[in-house]
Structure 1
């Protein structure tokens, strides 16, 4: 049961089926409700949290249409005429919206009509059928109760005295007489609902950054509870990103405790992502290493560094994106194993093999030279060159080795303490294994440096 303050009193504004079965109705005072049942699960209304949730839903809904209007306290208007074909028709689009809202944990009713008022009224009353033509609006709103007009008590009582309880009965009255007795606003609302008079609305403009916080009535300490909350937050983020044609390469979760300072959890994705499932997969890999310092009272998600993604394929299975999945794989490995357990390698302009590479960060644009990796040098070097025995004038490494191909002479490092003169060869043994060996031109000794 949900209650809100009305002056000094607290009034019931929403009840569940069990409370209704006990005789509790919206509109009565809390004390009256407690007279029915001594023990009730009472939740006090949080207007600010409701407004924040509605704004977050407006961001999420822009993945379906760029034109979203917030109607406080609890309604969104979506102009869908221009996107029906893209989503496969009205039924398909409506199904996606309703399924998405349910996945976010919202109980919602939808209504479809050519005018904002008609659509909103039908949604409030749970009328599932869609009105697709303006000519059908009059009959479509006729059965609705007079309460959808939000009249004040005086006008509502005056119409009730005339026997008017539905819009059909109101529409049957002479418009001029209704205007004189109850004011021009009544007729204006009807004309807007019927499409006779324009009903312009101010579209919602999304924020430049995504910030969403969920305050909890009851704290939690379990990581799996956080993951479920994160799934909801990431789904909202995915809708926001989809509506703006953006992606995000990293996000930050903020945990709010009672007595301790808030803590942060940064999650990187390797490359810009948009789909909730992709972002959630990385977070789940990280879940085993998440530590909550105390019971958590609120979770906030921030996504501030956004990237343009319009025109790029989003599916991880798209063949054109196969190489683009490597950063996501690295992000998942880091999430599971730790940031220091996975690294990238970048090339360094030095001919000496042991100095021709370095560990690179995520933002480093350096890469290994493809001709070195795929050509005559192996992709795997020993930590230190291994001295080889020589038998019958042939180097040995568990088997006799035979040099093949041409030699690559490396003469470098004379300007520092790493001077070398080496002749590198590819070599094979009877087993068929291929090695990278060199002969030091000073000592004439043979060394194993890499394996293909």
Structure 2
């Protein structure tokens, strides 16, 4: 087996979008704080904050004394777990065996290397995909999941493909990669143990008596001496992603920028399983107003963020927020299998969407009632053989003769000249008549012989001869 670990060292910060930059505001250092006893301490700092002397575990009061202009985020463990879940669902496109541990994805890739062009190519695809979703990362490859996790946590990009190489590869790692509980960590410090190499040199039995059995077992699992079964990741049957804001969103134009990030996450979540959605719901929370929402639909299931964003832009033209929003949540409850249908071979061409996307954009801008489709009805009388339907509604084709694309609202009488019907020119009937007799049960009974007729100009029409009064009528035109 071969495991690829993707460690997300900045996950607690990456889940927060940066403040919109209008080009005039100075960039502020960003920090994540968490409750600690009676106060708050820094859990994570960005590069700018670190350059100003801020570091994890510092008291917030001390940090503010050093730097008074900070963007402060409260840590959101639930949002971190949600982001990791959605990344795991995305990773299913590479391998069916995905597992998660805090801040880390574990992918068993030994069986799919050839499919993706080898280890380096697969690793690059995974790294680029994670980075494209806005996450800082460090990766490592090892024959055991725990070794890969520790190496990725250290952040030097190690690649170990043979179990025999693991003791050497792990030896230089600091004990911090183990994420030990305070008591065993203190015991090891008192013993002067600072690296995994020193730890691996200790007798397992004596180590177990001092710090418990879990640490020796973890070492054996990392080295491949003991089994390390992992619960496979099972993706959720719905998508929900929330962005909590430390600044209020006051306009839908700013909301669209946040929505783009949410839609990219949705795209990634769905693509790993071959799924799409047809309806989305955006939920907004407000400080001084009940929660509000915005529903967006499209004519066929899709997962493409660009298509959803195009529809969303049309949808919000005549909308406005009821109040400044403090969080935005995207919900997709009904996931649909795309049945292996290719969206397109080479993606959208020339920026042009499919007909369903155009219909969705028109409906979003004009209102759904302004865009209708047409479906057939099992009725022989042409004027009653159709009905209004939602755009894209499929209906079975009826076994009838040729029908024009344009049917007149009401048949128009045709004059009879020189033994032929006229419509600005003499018309010649082509082929045999199609007899339609129907409607005796509802008082709208008809008896007609329909023909495809052609004028001297080449134009073709759909006409009928009324078997009761002998008149000729125009009922439709062919393209």
Q: What TM-score comes out, normalization by structure 2 length?
A: 0.81
User: Could you say which residue in structure 2 is the equivalent of 1:234?
Assistant: 263
Tell me, yes or no, if structure 1 residue 406 matches structure 2 residue 436. Answer: no
Deviations 1:122-170 (A, max 9, x none): 2222111322222222222222112222345565455456654322333
Counterpart Cα distance in 1 of 2:440 and 2:240: 56
Q: Which of 335, 341, 344 is 1:316 aligned to?
A: 344
User: Could you say which residue in structure 2 is the equivalent of 1:322?
Assistant: none
Counterpart Cα distance in 2 of 1:448 and 1:258: 64
Superposed displacement of residue 327, structure 1: 4.9
Q: Which of 46, 59, 66 is 2:96 aligned to?
A: 66
Q: Which of 414, 426, 444 is 1:388 aligned to?
A: 414
Counterpart Cα distance in 2 of 1:178 and 1:377: 86
Deviations 1:232-259 (A, max 9, x none): 3333333433444443333333233333
The range that moved more, 350-359 or 211-220, is 211-220
Contact 2:139–2:158 (Cα < 8 Å) also in 1: no
Q: Which of 137, 149, 168 is 1:139 aligned to?
A: 168
Q: Aligned with 1:54: secondary structure?
A: helix
Stretches of structure 2 lacking an aligned partner (at least 5 in a row): 1-30, 348-353
Q: Which has the higher contact order (CA 8 A, sep 6+)?
A: 2
Change (3 A) 1:51 1:252: same
Change (3 A) 1:96 1:289: farther
Change (3 A) 1:288 1:137: farther
User: Could you say which residue in structure 2 is the equivalent of 1:108?
Assistant: 137
Tell me, yes or no, if structure 1 residue 13 matches structure 2 residue 43. Answer: yes
Alignment map for 1:280-319 (pairs within 5 Å): 280-288=309-317, 290-309=319-338, 312-317=340-345
Deviations 1:2-55 (A, max 9, x none): 221110122112112222222222222122222322332222222232233333
User: Could you say which residue in structure 2 is the equivalent of 1:41?
Assistant: 71
How many residue pairs were aligned? Answer: 442
Superposed displacement of residue 106, structure 1: 1.9
| CA RMSD, 1 decimal | 3.1
Q: Aligned with 1:86: secondary structure?
A: coil
Change (3 A) 1:386 1:20: same
Stretches of structure 1 lacking an aligned partner (at least 5 in a row): 320-324
Counterpart Cα distance in 2 of 1:44 and 1:447: 76
Deviations 1:69-107 (A, max 9, x none): 2323x2222222233333333223322322222232222
Deviations 1:248-299 (A, max 9, x none): 3333332333334433433333333344445445445545455433322222
Counterpart Cα distance in 2 of 1:258 and 1:36: 31
User: Could you say which residue in structure 1 is the equivalent of 2:128?
Assistant: 99
Change (3 A) 1:281 1:99: farther
Contact 1:274–1:314 (Cα < 8 Å) also in 2: no
User: Could you say which residue in structure 1 is the equivalent of 2:375?
Assistant: 346
Q: Aligned with 1:259: secondary structure?
A: coil
Q: Which of 432, 437, 440 is 2:466 aligned to?
A: 440
Change (3 A) 1:153 1:368: closer
Change (3 A) 1:19 1:422: same
Contact 1:345–1:368 (Cα < 8 Å) also in 2: no
Change (3 A) 1:282 1:39: closer
Contact 2:32–2:43 (Cα < 8 Å) also in 1: yes
Superposed displacement of residue 381, structure 1: 0.3
Q: Aligned with 2:127: secondary structure?
A: helix
Change (3 A) 1:31 1:264: closer
Counterpart Cα distance in 2 of 1:277 and 1:131: 39
User: Could you say which residue in structure 2 is the equivalent of 1:360?
Assistant: 389
Tell me, yes or no, if structure 1 residue 263 matches structure 2 residue 299. Answer: no
